[in-house]
């Protein structure tokens, strides 16, 4: 690296490098990252970058057991010979700096493709190339930079790790101290003049002091660490005023009992930390609910086709057993590990590894869960069952997360920034005022302002409100990927609907064939081809044809999304799709149809009389009041006239749209400032769902799972769709209202603080009251509005 190269990234710094700590950086971003590493004593990062593969002596040999192929096989989640995926439990992950370092392992080892941190679960998921990197090297690498993985081989099928109970211990200690300090403070509140209470009040005060020490320095340490890191990087996050309030409470209370001028605010201090930790505990439980509870106790819209004695039946994923024979259709996700029995397997593992090049598999090869079949139908035998949490893990994969310009957390932190500046300003001028008016009051007033202004209620409102609403949505079978999705819904201005499989239902569709009569063998050929497709029209026609498909596998299969299918079987070529796809003039532009072309001869077409979902008109009439509505479909304009008369007049229509056209259409709207929600079936619409600000997949009883979406709605609840949107908006309104209530509490408390009337009993009433009432308010209000808007 030359003297002109950036110390962090190695880029040319140009004419004006940024100098920091006698090192040159090309931009403020690289300088900030260096500061993070330096503050956390992780500058060995640069040693590894300059000398990759150099491992400290104390680590060498520690992971030699990872050279054993049998042990490696137990730890790997995925291994197709060239690419592997492993998930490590890293107990030492604790802040944003840790996340940044661990998610940039690709800079330290060229074999690492991606590395993603699941912060709530403290896990690190690494995708790496087998020919460039070995599992042992990865373990040594992350250990050398301070993040030793916890690896357990106690179970052949699971990587067991200790559950981190730190937060539970912190809450328990704070609760115990809070309750006992309140009891010891009662005589001080009411100034009871009683001999024994007067005699032992000093003992009581020191007991309170002793009990509050572990609360501050153990239970509350996280707020100090977070505040320090925020200030270190010139960020005034929500933890800065909280840490300031805790510090002032503790210092002032200690001074009061040392100088015997009062009993201090130890009760308020313990209560403050207890309620803050209680909010954090609830937030953690919410994450656990999203990750686990709904996978097993709630309906999740994915099924799989099981073959039993030649018959195809749909079963839930969690009913799959070892030895089952499954049919995986084109564009369908493989839900469990298995062995390929027959079919042309070209598996796209991009949902697992991030690489989209399909992997060709032969009969007898192992198939891994999370891969997507891309060349027709295949049959596989299950070798290990897997919980639906794996599918949720794919759904929550950061690869598919959209970057958002606004979140409630950002709003909270931005409010906190101005809040902190305002409080410090008020405290400063109040101190000056009282210094000249009554110097003995100056210290009390300044500390009282800092104490009463602690924004604990502000910090509690969003976790409780959003957590409770996500729980309610889950029970109502509307599954949101994360809290940010709920916030994004509240900003949507335009809603785009796909047509087939979204606003139409396959359960009531009527079919009619026109053209040259098809022979029995031709119908069998058509059904054999359709068996491999997962498009809603294909599935409907497949069920309609009353013939058994051929046992022979397809020689070739190519499904062009939005157009049709090309396939070859028994030396017979067949095309199924739109009129333009089979190169024939459409008989009518007013019909949805599948044309049949066999051995270059157009036979005829199957005409679909679509049946629209119950309540569709009411849904659109409700949504038109607040949103721009668009139908964006790959079908022809056959039913445009009907829809124009059936749906609100301001609804826009775009037909004959290819998947890439849909994506570009949404992108153009976003460039004009629109916040777009895409509602689709999760198959042809995967790109559009990923591009939109909010992508919602409508799921019927079909075998489609789309990690690209942000929410999944049970198709049976389509008529309640506007109510879910209203509920999301109401939740954000409730949070903002709670912010106002929190501010009012601070204004009331500020009156007592500025006038020098903030006594321990006032603080003991006002501070817990604000926290409790905010939590009760957001919880009760979210429950009330959910009952009002969703039946």
CATH classification at residue 649: 3.40.50.1000
Ranges 48-57, 171-180, 410-419, most confident: 171-180
Question: Residues of the chain with pLDDT > 90: what percent?
Answer: 12
Q: Looking at residue 15, what is its pLDDT?
A: 63
Last residue of a domain, one of 558, 577, 612: 612
pLDDT at 540 over 80: yes
pLDDT at 701 over 60: no
pLDDT band at residue 161 under the 50/70/90 scheme? very low
Percent helix, strand, coil in the chain (nearest 5)? 50, 20, 35
Ranges 142-146, 723-727, 758-762, most confident: 723-727
Total domains in the chain come to 4
Say whether both 599 and 510 belong to one domain: yes
Say whether both 174 and 218 belong to one domain: yes
Q: What single DSSP character describes residue 399?
A: G
Q: Looking at residue 225, what is its pLDDT?
A: 82
Q: Looking at residue 158, what is its pLDDT?
A: 44
Domain membership of residue 122 (yes or no) is yes
Angle between helices 239-258 and 439-452 (to 10 degrees): 140
pLDDT band at residue 552 under the 50/70/90 scheme? confident
Question: Residues of the chain with pLDDT > 70: what percent?
Answer: 76
Beta strand extents in 102-234 (DSSP E only): 112-118, 123-129
CATH of the domain at 580: 3.40.1110.10
Residue with tokens 């003039």: 585
Q: What is the chain's Cα-based Rg?
A: 31
Q: Looking at residue 478, what is its pLDDT?
A: 83
Alpha-carbon distance of 80 to 136, in angstroms, equals 18
What range defines the domain where residue 570 resides? 504-612
Say whether both 757 and 746 belong to one domain: yes
User: 173 with 215: CB under 8 angstroms?
Assistant: yes
**HEC states along 138-158?**
HHHHHHHCCCCCECCCCCCCC
pLDDT band at residue 147 under the 50/70/90 scheme? confident
pLDDT at 71 over 70: yes
Say whether both 281 and 190 belong to one domain: yes
Domain membership of residue 721 (yes or no) is no
pLDDT band at residue 212 under the 50/70/90 scheme? very high
Alpha-carbon distance of 316 to 294, in angstroms, equals 14
Please measure the distance between the N-terminal and C-terminal CA atoms of the chain and give it in whole angstroms.
65
Q: What single DSSP character describes residue 547?
A: S
Closest CA to 641 of 651, 26, 782, 586: 651
Q: Looking at residue 677, what is its pLDDT?
A: 94
User: 236 with 416: CB under 8 angstroms?
Assistant: yes
State both tokens at 233.
């990087």
pLDDT at 413 over 80: no
User: 52 with 108: CB under 8 angstroms?
Assistant: yes
Main-chain phi, psi angles of 748, to 5 degrees: -65, -45
Give the angle subtended at the CA of 506 by the CAs of 493 and 626, to the nearest 5°.
15
Domain membership of residue 310 (yes or no) is no
Say whether both 511 and 494 belong to one domain: no
Alpha-carbon distance of 354 to 80, in angstroms, equals 14
Flag whether the pTM goes above 0.85: no
Ranges 70-79, 82-91, 154-163, 513-522, most confident: 513-522
Residues 176-211 as b/e (b if ≥16 CB within 10 A, e otherwise) read ebbeebbebbebbbeeeeeeeeeeebeebbeebbeb
Domain membership of residue 414 (yes or no) is yes
Query: What is the DSSP pairing of strand 652-654 with strand 628-632?
Result: parallel
Three-state SS for 741?
helix
pLDDT tens, residue by residue, 321-330: 888 999 888 8
Say whether both 171 and 272 belong to one domain: yes
pLDDT at 9 over 70: no
pLDDT tens, residue by residue, 218-264: 998 888 887 777 677 666 666 777 788 788 888 888 888 888 877 77
Say whether both 172 and 280 belong to one domain: yes
Q: Is residue 281 packed enough to be buried (19+ CB in 10 Å), middle (13-18) or exposed (0-12)?
A: middle
pLDDT tens, residue by residue, 452-477: 766 666 666 777 787 788 878 877 87
**Least confident range of 1-15, 222-236, 243-257, 765-779:** 1-15
Q: Is the dihedral of CA 709, 711, 716, 722 positive or negative?
A: negative
Q: What single DSSP character describes residue 455?
A: -
Three-state SS for 507?
strand
Say whether both 524 and 597 belong to one domain: yes
Say whether both 183 and 57 belong to one domain: no
Alpha-carbon distance of 536 to 555, in angstroms, equals 23
Average pLDDT, rounded, for the chain: 78
Say whether both 252 and 185 belong to one domain: yes
Domain membership of residue 277 (yes or no) is yes
Say whether both 687 and 737 belong to one domain: no
Q: What is the mean pLDDT of residues 651-665?
A: 87
Cite the DSSP H helix spans in 289-388: 294-297, 350-353
Alpha-carbon distance of 245 to 578, in angstroms, equals 68
Main-chain phi, psi angles of 619, to 5 degrees: -60, -50
Domain membership of residue 31 (yes or no) is no
Which DSSP string do the residues of 349-377 spell out, in sequence order?
A: -HHHHS--SPEEE-TT-EE-TT-EE-SS-
Q: Looking at residue 54, what is its pLDDT?
A: 45
Higher-pLDDT residue of 448 and 398 is: 448
Residue with tokens 């604990």: 456
pLDDT band at residue 440 under the 50/70/90 scheme? confident
Say whether both 182 and 266 belong to one domain: yes
């Amino acid at each position: 690296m030359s003297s002109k190269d950036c110390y962090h990234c190695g880029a040319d710094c140009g004419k004006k490098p940024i100098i920091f700590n006698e090192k040159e950086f090309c931009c403020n971003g690289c300088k900030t990252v260096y500061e993070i590493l330096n503050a956390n004593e992780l500058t060995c990062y640069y040693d590894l970058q300059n000398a990759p593969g150099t491992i400290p002596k104390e680590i060498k040999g520690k992971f030699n057991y990872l050279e054993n192929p049998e042990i490696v096989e137990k730890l790997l989640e995925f291994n197709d010979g060239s690419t592997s995926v492993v998930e490590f439990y890293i107990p030492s992950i604790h802040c944003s700096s840790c996340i940044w370092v661990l998610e940039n392992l690709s800079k330290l080892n060229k074999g690492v493709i991606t590395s993603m941190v699941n912060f709530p679960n403290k896990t690190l998921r690494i995708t790496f190339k087998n020919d460039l990197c070995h599992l042992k090297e990865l373990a040594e690498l992350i250990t050398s930079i301070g993040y030793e993985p916890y690896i357990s081989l106690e179970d052949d099928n699971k990587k067991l790790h200790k559950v981190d109970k730190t937060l539970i211990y912190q809450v328990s200690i704070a609760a115990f101290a809070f309750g006992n300090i309140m009891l010891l403070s009662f005589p001080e509140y009411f100034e009871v003049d009683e001999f024994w209470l007067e005699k032992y009040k000093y003992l009581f005060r020191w007991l309170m002091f002793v009990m509050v020490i572990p609360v501050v320095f153990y239970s509350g340490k996280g707020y100090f660490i977070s505040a320090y890191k925020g200030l270190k990087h010139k960020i005034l996050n929500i933890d800065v005023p909280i840490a300031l309030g805790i510090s002032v409470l503790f210092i002032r209370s200690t001074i009061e009992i040392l100088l015997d001028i009062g009993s201090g605010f130890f009760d308020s201090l313990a209560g403050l930390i207890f309620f803050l930790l209680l909010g954090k505990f609830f937030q953690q439980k919410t994450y656990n609910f999203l990750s686990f509870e709904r996978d097993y106790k709630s309906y999740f819209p994915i099924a799989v086709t099981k073959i039993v004695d030649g018959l195809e039946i749909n079963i839930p994923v969690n009913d799959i057993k070892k030895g089952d024979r499954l049919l995986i259709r084109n564009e369908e996700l493989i839900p469990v590990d298995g062995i390929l029995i027959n079919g042309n397997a070209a598996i796209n593992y991009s949902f697992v590894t991030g690489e989209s090049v399909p992997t060709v598999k032969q009969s007898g090869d192992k198939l891994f869960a999370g891969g997507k079949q891309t060349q027709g139908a295949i049959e596989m035998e299950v070798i290990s069952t897997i919980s639906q949490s794996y599918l949720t893990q794919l759904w929550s994969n950061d690869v598919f997360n959209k970057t958002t310009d606004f979140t409630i957390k950002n709003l909270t932190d931005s409010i906190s920034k101005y809040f902190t500046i305002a409080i410090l300003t008020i405290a400063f001028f109040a101190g000056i005022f009282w210094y000249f008016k009554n110097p003995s009051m100056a210290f009390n007033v300044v500390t009282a302002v800092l104490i009463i202004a602690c924004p604990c209620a502000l910090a509690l409102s969003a976790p409780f409100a959003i957590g409770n609403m996500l729980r309610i949505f889950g029970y109502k079978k509307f599954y949101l990927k994360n809290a940010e999705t709920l916030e994004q819904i509240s900003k949507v201005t335009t809603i785009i609907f796909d047509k087939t499989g979204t606003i139409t239902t396959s359960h009531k569709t009527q079919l009619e064939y026109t053209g040259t009569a098809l022979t029995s063998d031709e119908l069998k050929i058509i059904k054999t081809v359709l068996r491999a497709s997962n498009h809603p029209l294909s599935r409907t026609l497949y069920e309609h044809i009353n013939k058994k498909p051929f046992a022979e596998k397809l020689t070739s299969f190519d499904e062009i999304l939005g157009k049709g299918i090309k396939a070859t079987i028994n030396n017979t070529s067949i095309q199924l799709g739109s009129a333009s796809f089979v190169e024939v003039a459409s008989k009518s532009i007013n019909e949805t149809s599948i044309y049949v072309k066999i051995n270059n001869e157009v036979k005829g077409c199957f005409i679909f009389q679509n049946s629209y979902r119950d309540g569709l008109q009411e849904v659109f009439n409700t949504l038109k009041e607040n949103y721009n509505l668009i139908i964006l479909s790959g079908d022809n304009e056959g039913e445009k006239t009907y829809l124009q008369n059936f749906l609100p007049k301001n609804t826009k229509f775009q037909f004959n749209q290819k998947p890439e056209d849909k994506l570009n259409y949404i992108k153009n709207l976003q460039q004009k400032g629109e916040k777009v929600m895409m509602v689709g079936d999760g198959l042809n619409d995967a790109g559009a769902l990923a591009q939109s600000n909010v992508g919602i997949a409508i799921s019927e009883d079909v075998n489609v799972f789309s990690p690209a979406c942000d929410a999944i709605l049970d198709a049976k609840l389509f008529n309640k769709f506007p109510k879910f949107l209203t509920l999301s908006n109401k939740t954000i309104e409730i949070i903002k209202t709670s912010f106002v209530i929190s501010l009012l509490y601070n204004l009331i408390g500020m009156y007592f603080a500025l006038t020098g009337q903030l006594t321990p009993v006032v603080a003991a009433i006002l501070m817990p009251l604000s926290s409790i009432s905010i939590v009760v308010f957001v919880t009760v209000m979210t429950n009330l509005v959910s009952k009002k808007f969703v039946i």
